[in-house]
Amino acid sequence: MHDATEVVPGAGPGHSALLLVGEQPGAQEDRESRTIEEIIGPPTDAGEEDCCSWVRDAPAGYFVAMTKIGYFLSCEEYAPAELLEQARLAEEAGFDGLWISDHFHPWTSQQGQSAFVWSIIGALSQMCDLPVTTAVTCPILRQHPALVAQAAATSAVLLGEGRFRLGVGTGEALNEHVLGDTWPEADVRLEMLEEAVELIRALWSGDAVSHRGRHYRVQNARIWTRPASPPEILVSAFGPKAVELAARIGDGYVTTSPDRDLLASFRKNAPAGATTQAGFKVAWAPTAEEGIDHAHRIWPNAGLPGELAQVLPTVEHFEQASQLVTRAATADSVSAGADPAVHLAAFDPFLQAGFDEIYVANMGPHYAEMIRGFGRDVLPALRARSKDAAAQTGP
């Protein structure tokens, strides 16, 4: 196998880690059988500033990509002041961007928060320069697509040109049934999302819009405060039908799963250059055992299988169902403790799958230590690996 990476002079910082090293056709199975460290080698003493970017003119038969590493703000777990502190720390630590969740309720009472996302984004715009993606907003029931269009347009103006992306999805009953609407089945929710995205894009044109669709109506609606260019819309998807919709209507794809088949399906059917994002959580603590305890106490719902996360309507139902999730199951699924190598390894499935951007959240009270620890050890290790690969390999 012959790997090839090209350095783009003057590209500057902003892309953090090597996703895929360019390879000759037919080498996919060899690559997929190895860890990311086996692909790109151990960390080196290279500096933190990254000089590489997407390489779209690589030699025939090669694919070269870099990924951005962002921080995930969990509105369900942290109070507004803590979210703003995390954003400030993430920027200081060298993260490349922010995800932010959009919930009406937390999943469990131990999480205990659920700030209004649009207020938090407004505050972020005044104290942080990192780009922000909602992960994700549901524009089909609780928030009418016309109001989402206005909120997102204002957020894009506040954050600055190109620094806001609207992540959307079909949501969960936990958040979306609160106005008394019937919770639709999955196929109907996808149909509603498609119409909602169509309406949001129409409103971002700046024209007066009257729309009488199957699910939504607006009359003489016009959004006056808009960015110069409309934000990208990234679509959350966890199954084949949703991925097909994301590729057809979205500018990108959002998920928390490193599923390679779904990612490949999206890339096959999406426009060239569509952004792919993924996210996961870690539990930073002085010891792995303490981190596992925090994860199991606060986020046991992360271990629930299938469609339960979409259909359970209350916090109490999630807490009842989460009793089936054992501490051992949590321990097997979470990166915990303060060992940078353990947290670095948690990126492997997402890096090997080939996502453009990866976002990581903390679970528990040690978020400041986690962010600083990532900035000190994890992010530089990822960047050093990619720079080493760029310096030592070639066609």
Instruction: Enumerate the active-site residues.
Output: 103, 172
Buried b (16+ CB within 10 A) or exposed e, 325-345: beeeebbeebbbbbebeebbe
Phi/psi at 235 (5° precision):
-110, 125
Q: Is 225 buried (19+), middle (13-18) or exposed (0-12) by CB count in 10 A? A: exposed
CB 220 within 8 A of CB 208: yes
DSSP H or E segment with residue 372: helix 367-373
The pair of structure tokens assigned to 377 is 């050890």
Alpha carbon separation from 285 to 41, 288, 299, 362, 375 (Å, rounded) = 28, 7, 15, 10, 16
Q: Is 191 buried (19+), middle (13-18) or exposed (0-12) by CB count in 10 A? A: middle
Rounded CA gap, 129 and 323, in Å?
40
